[in-house]
Amino acid sequence: RERGAAVAGAVRSAGETALERIAVSLTAAAEERDAAAAARAERQSGLDGVRSRVNALATELTQLTDVMHRDEVARAQSQLRIEQLESRITEDHGVAADDLVAEYGPHLPVPVSAADLAEHATSIERGEPSAEPAPAAYDRAVQQRRAALAEKDLAMLGRVNPLALEEFAAMEERYKFLATQLEDIKATRRDLLTVVSEVDDKILEVFTAAYADVAREFELVFVTLFPGGEGRLVLTEPDDMLTSGVDVEARPPGKKIKRLSLLSGGEKSLTAVAMLVAIFRARPSPFYVLDEVEAALDDVNLRRLIGLLDELRQSSQLIIVTHQKPTMEVADALYGVSMAGDGITAVVSQRMRDRAAEHAS
């Protein structure tokens, strides 16, 4: 038993020693574990920082790449624009770009514009004080505005017409032809106006004389047809004989009215006959044709008219269409149209003077 107890004590002592050593080992392992965890955390933090820096640098690289690409595109566009401008300068002006810059570059003063010179000349003509315009220093903004205005004016002019000279020559020839025609027309117009003036003067002379003669004869004839009455011709516009009309005033005996519209049918007819006879007497004609002018007259007025017709036939021949017997009695010859029973018309003639001579014999 003692031996067993000793062995158990030895085992116990060895177990305690082992436990102590295990505890020490566990403590050391825990410390190593904590140190490793701290180191790992520290390394992880450093790795995260490096990754963030890498991402930031990658983003910056992307931005720089985009900027560089845009710059390259802009540079290419600018180079293309320069080449286009150089080509346009050569085509439009026939001058190289370097020569154009040397002669008109921004290092040179800007010449005075034609508008400024014209304004200065206008001021001098008006007597206003005006300093002579001088060349100014180059100002890009000002020159850009002038260029834009010039381009606008050029655009309003339109495209250059290569056939403009030929068209101008043709239009100039056409203009000279039309100008010559216009001068001919003006000369013709002057000649026509002269002729019209002469014709107007002649018309005025002839009408004035004819009116005076007809007015005089009308008063005499009217008194003959209307004993005790009064008739005359009146001009509507005495101051302008060329446009004046002629009114007939008739006052039969025993009446105060003068307007033709207020006369009876017979009086109107007799007044018209008086007007015709007055014209016949003022301007005689070799013959006259009268168609039933006495149809509306009574026997007394018919006798008076026959007396006037008898006076007229002393110098002219009268052809009268009538159904009045008194008129037929004073005729030299009668012509009648009759229709027999067979429906055939026949012309019958009879010389009244020869008939009268036969009766007298």
pLDDT in tens, 204-246: 888 889 888 988 888 888 888 888 888 888 888 888 888 888 8
Is the pLDDT score of 340 beyond 80?
no
pLDDT value at position 1?
Answer: 65
What is the mean predicted confidence (pLDDT) over 45-54? 88
For 127, list phi and psi in degrees, rounded to 5: 80, 15
The whole-angstrom separation of Cα 68 and Cα 75 is 10
pLDDT band at 358 (very low <50, low <70, confident <90, very high): low
Last residue within a domain, chosen from 45, 70, 95: 70
Residues 288 and 316: beta-carbon distance below 8 Å: yes
Last residue within a domain, chosen from 216, 251, 286: 286
pLDDT value at position 353?
Answer: 64
| Other beta carbons less than 10 A from residue 133's beta carbon | 14
Secondary structure of the chain: what % helix, strand, coil (to 5)? 65, 10, 25
pLDDT value at position 357?
Answer: 52
Sequence length of the chain is 361
In a domain, residue 81? The reply is: no
SS3 (DSSP) at 228 = coil
pLDDT value at position 355?
Answer: 52
% of the chain at pLDDT higher than 90: 10
Domain count, the chain: 2
In a domain, residue 235? The reply is: yes
Top mean-pLDDT range of 135-149, 181-195, 280-294, 321-335:
181-195
Domain that holds residue 19: 1-70
In a domain, residue 37? The reply is: yes
pLDDT value at position 100?
Answer: 74
What residues form DSSP beta bridges with 40? none
Last residue within a domain, chosen from 286, 319, 347: 286
In a domain, residue 249? The reply is: yes
In a domain, residue 276? The reply is: yes
In a domain, residue 113? The reply is: no
pLDDT value at position 22?
Answer: 83
Decide: residue 115, CB within 10 A, 0-12 exposed, 13-18 middle, 19+ buried.
exposed
In a domain, residue 94? The reply is: no
In a domain, residue 106? The reply is: no
Span 127-144, pLDDT tens digits: 777 777 777 787 888 878
Decide: residue 64, CB within 10 A, 0-12 exposed, 13-18 middle, 19+ buried.
exposed
The whole-angstrom separation of Cα 328 and Cα 334 is 7
pLDDT value at position 266?
Answer: 74
